[in-house]
Structure 1
Amino acid sequence: MSSLVKNVGTIGGLTMISRVFGFARDMLLARVLGAGLAADAFQLAFTLPNTFRRLFAEGAFSVAFVPMYSRALHGTGAGGTGGEEAAAKFADDVLSVFLWVLLGFSAIMMVVMPGIVWLLARDFQQVPGKFDFAVFLSRVTFPYLALVSLVAMLSGLLNARSRFAPGAFAPVLLNIVLIGGIVAGWWLRGPGGDDRIVAEALAIAVSLAGVVQLAYMMWAVRRAGLTLHWRFPKFTPEVKRLGALILPATFGAGIYQVSQFVDTFFATSLPQGSLTLLKLADRLNQLPLGIVGIALGTAILPMLSRHIHSGDAAEAQRLQANAFEIATLLTLPAAAALAICAPAFVTAFFVGGKFTAGDGVIMAQIVVALICGLPAYVVVKILNPGFFAREDTKTPVWTALASLLVNIAINLYVVERYGIVGLAGATAASASVNCLLLYTVLHRRGWFHFTAKLAGRIARQLVAVAAMAALLLYMMPLMEPYYGGNVFERIWSLTILVAAGGMVFFAAAFATGALDKDLLAMLTRRRRNGAATTKE
């Protein structure tokens, strides 16, 4: 468990930095652009490469590539031999094919972009100039997909060697470059200028960020002593097997991302600004999801693969149980706090400039609806590796398909009646369905099951969450006048909320036994000896 805690700490800490920069990016974006034509067009243009990135590059490709590369490195790999030579050959073969696939896919998408935008946002045509502007921005941003896909491959090489820091840090560079794009666009627009200038500067910054990330990861790979060679593309048996695993994993690993396309389609049919409000609300949801869910999922996949390939089923069960406990310990209080304090967070962080108080009210409601599915979003990141580590990418396809159909069915009913808030609730419900289906299959196959110890620990965590929630419900109305005050008032009011809620939760968790003392000791030891225990 100490290795898991160390790896999750490394990934989660750097992901938290990235999410903080992303949060700052969206705060600036809300104030500079508000929720209008230019903001909606950019959000759609950024959604396309960003969702494909999460779905394919960091989703399907990573979950298929990392176990195969790890097997070549630690066991029997390509060519009948194992070790560095087999792993290097496999990586070179994949790169040689992968590069051309990315270039071809990107070229095709650039050509057919008007059709893609029409499928996702045909209602943009009802606003003069909005559809054409969205197409233009989407073509500017889409090269980012090819660049960040190569970044994901290089990150996978390092992850298989338990070097998680470079891949976790790369998104920080994206957000830094995008913040620079917002500032440059704001300066070029000037007072009372056209908001489309800001959106154009941001679109250029997206592709530029891909270049910066790729350069950084190439440096990190060389620093680790690895060298990649581009060869004439050849579909070796291992490359073909990787492709066979990627195709179903593209769907199975990315229900949340597939749902993003569904949500985008429905959101663009709602009043102008709805898409922007949904994306900004999802930023609050992504903070704990990225820090906890992605960190756990990334950390346990190579470790789980090693236990399974060595035939140690008991260690595989223990690893997933530990990950489950860490996930609920961190996610349940985060979900409760965000749901209760959503109006305070949205008002303090986003309302101002072109982002109105009315926008803030709607956004807070969207946050509450999304947060209802947060535990499920995180748990899915833990359950999916149970299949991917066994090179079973087909089963998650069926569970993902079922939950996606649930999502669409609910949207057809609720969007017309409840608007963008109903859409967010449908996403949360479908994620919960996917989570339950994945666990049911794992349990029936004997790959993972709830133990009495794990259930008892989660029950105690819920008691601690209830104590924290009661305090926050009491404090929220007391400080309501300060959430939208000056900068100092916003900072101290939120600080008091977060500090009070955190202290009550951890005090109650410690008193009820929800906080594993062994886990606490390892977390404390990691903070004390972090410099000595972290490779990067």
Structure 2
Amino acid sequence: MEGQRVAKAAGLIMISMVVSRILGYLRDVVIYAQFGQNRITDAYNAAFSVPDFLYMLLVGGALSSSFIPVFSSYIATEREKEAWEMASIVFNVIMVLMVVGISLGLIYTPKLIYLLVPGFNPASLELTVMLTRIMFAQAFFMALSGMSMGILNSYKHFFAPALGSVLYNLAIIAVGLLLSPLLGIAGFSVGVVVGAMLNFGVQLPVLIRMGLRYRFSFNLTHPGVRKLGSLMLPVLIGLSVTQFNLFVNQNLASTLAPGIVAALRTAQRLMQLPIGVFAIAVAVAVFPTLTSQAARKEREQFKHTMSLGIRSVIFLTVPAAAGLISLRVPIVRLLFEQGKFTPQATQATAYALLFYSLGLFAYSAIQVLNRVFYALHDTRTPVTGGVLTILLNIYLNFVLIKKLGHGGLALAYSVAGIFNMMLLLFILKRKLGGINGYQMLFSFVKSLFAASVMGLCSYVVASYIEQVTDISLKINQALQVFAAAGAGMIVYILLALIFRMEEATMVMGILKRRFSRPV
């Protein structure tokens, strides 16, 4: 029964993620077609840095990773009143910190932006400062959304947060198109703020219906708050190091040719598409189950849920990486090459995508692995591993950028991700006394072999279509991508069936239960 609930939740989140990512793609297409891939869009992408850092530090990473295990443990042990009291205190503290952080950010925006993108010219720096100040309002409403999502997910309610992410991207597109004739690219920054407001607004009625029990309290001695604080501290340290790595990456990219900051961000979003659709959907769905099983000390069920999650995301994302690598130029060309997005921008983005895709499977597995540790109320291990990983990433950034340009920055990110995954698996094996490692390794090898054959097949089909058609036409570009991807997918599925891969049955079961049963 628990497995069916996880499958249904994963299916729901997967569908919402697909819709949200499609809208995210349309958002990027509209922006790049209208403004191109240059210092204007570099400024737009860089403007997210400081507000996103504030949000991730207070809510998106540190709080969400610690809040759900603590809140869920209260719910699982039928102490709902204490759960809501703890949530109220945390909410009040976060809101105060968010207001202080935003105020300081608004005051020191010019200095912060100069540190982040010193390679920008004065006009680009000024534009980035203006866009950043607009984005700070987004951080406030995303904090509200993050809190509400943590509570709703603890109650295993996933629909409203999923709908919120869809509305977020819809608002950016609609408001951006409406205001950009008047405000330029700042119109899309206003759209980001409106989207964040809608993201929270759609969750609030559900919270109220579930019996929202807010209290105005700052009782920091509450046991749940103290537990949360002890769990958050190492995560905060890890996130600070992670964000520092992103800042170093952006600092180095700003010294390269105009448009490279945007190229790296676009390529990384494409790489993260399978992570968002598959890995995060599975990880978010299994997290409440993992926390409940950990609270009830159901060790074997816990290990089974963990193994199910990791093997499922690897089975889904290894072929996704092979497809992105073999079809990187056709995909970027089809999705973005129009308006002011030039063939040179396509090549720059595809070059980064090649190296980012190498680490796709590792970052997908990390989505599950981190939540396994969080469910065990162990935030120190993933943070310690994360700090070591980021230090490696920063070192590789400086080494590889000299040899591979912006591709080196992407490769450093991938190598660091693979190191992080391996380290977490090693520590988890010692912690749990076994994680069915050989089963996971055997599954990965079979997926890798099948995906390699799939990638080769896709490349051959794409090359043939490019030779016999006028590839400058969008219809032929679409034919090239869909025919090559379709052929590759058929090959991968056939090989999975020939190898009798258990993961194929698991994934089909998730999809079948999602579409055959109402949520």
> Which of 110, 113, 130 lines up with 1:114 in the alignment?
110
Identity %: 25
- Name 2:79's counterpart in structure 1: 83
3-state SS in 1 of match to 2:327: helix
Q: Are 2:131 and 1:137 equivalent residues in the alignment?
A: yes
- Name 2:42's counterpart in structure 1: 40
Tell me the distance in 2 between the aligned counterparts of 1:254 and 1:514: 40
In structure 1, list runs of 5 or more residues that go unmatched.
76-81, 189-196
- Name 1:79's counterpart in structure 2: none
Residue pair 2:326, 2:459 contacting (<8 A) in 1 also: yes
Shift of 1:14: 0.8
Alignment deviations for residues 68-107 of structure 1 (CA, whole Å, 9 cap, x no partner): 10111122xxxxxx43222222222222222212111211
Residue pair 1:102, 1:146 contacting (<8 A) in 2 also: yes
- 5 Å matches for 1:5-20? 5-20=7-22
Shift of 1:129: 1.4
Residue pair 1:35, 1:277 contacting (<8 A) in 2 also: yes
Does the C-alpha gap of structure 1 residues 508 and 52 become closer, same or farther in structure 2, counting only changes over 3 Å?
farther
Shift of 1:399: 0.9
Does the C-alpha gap of structure 1 residues 527 and 159 become closer, same or farther in structure 2, counting only changes over 3 Å?
closer
Q: Are 2:421 and 1:427 equivalent residues in the alignment?
A: no
Residue pair 2:89, 2:225 contacting (<8 A) in 1 also: yes
3-state SS in 1 of match to 2:61: helix
Shift of 1:277: 0.8
> Which of 325, 334, 358 lines up with 1:339 in the alignment?
325
Q: Indicate the larger mover: 4-13 or 476-485.
A: 476-485
2:128 corresponds to which letter in structure 1?
Answer: A
Tell me the distance in 2 between the aligned counterparts of 1:465 and 1:103: 48
Tell me the distance in 1 between the aligned counterparts of 2:440 and 2:326: 26
> Which of 123, 128, 131 lines up with 2:122 in the alignment?
128
Does the C-alpha gap of structure 1 residues 412 and 277 become closer, same or farther in structure 2, counting only changes over 3 Å?
same
1:378 corresponds to which letter in structure 2?
Answer: S
Residue pair 1:464, 1:512 contacting (<8 A) in 2 also: no
3-state SS in 2 of match to 1:123: coil
In structure 2, list runs of 5 or more residues that go unmatched.
none
- Name 2:483's counterpart in structure 1: 496
- Name 2:432's counterpart in structure 1: 446
2:314 corresponds to which letter in structure 1?
Answer: T
1:17 corresponds to which letter in structure 2?
Answer: V
- Name 2:310's counterpart in structure 1: 324
3-state SS in 1 of match to 2:258: coil
Q: Are 2:231 and 1:235 equivalent residues in the alignment?
A: no
Shift of 1:335: 0.5
Residue pair 2:142, 2:200 contacting (<8 A) in 1 also: yes
3-state SS in 2 of match to 1:122: coil
- 5 Å matches for 1:409-488? 409-446=395-432, 449-480=435-466, 484-488=471-475
- Name 1:171's counterpart in structure 2: 165
> Which of 83, 93, 97 lines up with 1:97 in the alignment?
93
Q: Indicate the larger mover: 440-449 or 334-343.
A: 440-449
3-state SS in 1 of match to 2:337: coil
Residue pair 1:317, 1:447 contacting (<8 A) in 2 also: no
Residue pair 2:168, 2:192 contacting (<8 A) in 1 also: yes
- 5 Å matches for 1:249-398? 249-252=235-238, 259-398=245-384
Residue pair 1:2, 1:522 contacting (<8 A) in 2 also: no
Residue pair 1:411, 1:422 contacting (<8 A) in 2 also: yes
Tell me the distance in 1 between the aligned counterparts of 2:233 and 2:146: 17
Shift of 1:303: 1.1
> Which of 26, 29, 41 lines up with 1:27 in the alignment?
29
Shift of 1:466: 2.6
3-state SS in 2 of match to 1:176: helix
Residue pair 2:317, 2:361 contacting (<8 A) in 1 also: yes
Tell me the distance in 2 between the aligned counterparts of 1:502 and 1:55: 39
Does the C-alpha gap of structure 1 residues 350 and 487 become closer, same or farther in structure 2, counting only changes over 3 Å?
same
Tell me the distance in 2 between the aligned counterparts of 1:55 and 1:335: 29
- Name 1:192's counterpart in structure 2: none
Alignment deviations for residues 339-382 of structure 1 (CA, whole Å, 9 cap, x no partner): 11000001111111111101111110100110111011111111
- Name 2:197's counterpart in structure 1: 211
2:211 corresponds to which letter in structure 1?
Answer: L
2:351 corresponds to which letter in structure 1?
Answer: Q
1:161 corresponds to which letter in structure 2?
Answer: Y
Tell me the distance in 1 between the aligned counterparts of 2:103 and 2:294: 39
Residue pair 1:46, 1:203 contacting (<8 A) in 2 also: no
State how many pairs are aligned. 515
Q: Are 2:203 and 1:226 equivalent residues in the alignment?
A: no
Tell me the distance in 2 between the aligned counterparts of 1:412 and 1:474: 35
Q: Indicate the larger mover: 134-143 or 247-256.
A: 247-256
- 5 Å matches for 1:42-57? 42-54=44-56, 56-57=58-59
Does the C-alpha gap of structure 1 residues 363 and 355 become closer, same or farther in structure 2, counting only changes over 3 Å?
same
3-state SS in 2 of match to 1:449: coil
Does the C-alpha gap of structure 1 residues 459 and 3 become closer, same or farther in structure 2, counting only changes over 3 Å?
farther
Shift of 1:439: 1.2
1:511 corresponds to which letter in structure 2?
Answer: I
- Name 2:156's counterpart in structure 1: 162
Shift of 1:305: 1.3
3-state SS in 1 of match to 2:185: helix
- Name 2:61's counterpart in structure 1: 59
Residue pair 1:483, 1:494 contacting (<8 A) in 2 also: no
Tell me the distance in 2 between the aligned counterparts of 1:494 and 1:117: 38
Alignment deviations for residues 54-81 of structure 1 (CA, whole Å, 9 cap, x no partner): 5542322111000110111122xxxxxx
Shift of 1:484: 4.4
Does the C-alpha gap of structure 1 residues 460 and 433 become closer, same or farther in structure 2, counting only changes over 3 Å?
closer
1:100 corresponds to which letter in structure 2?
Answer: V
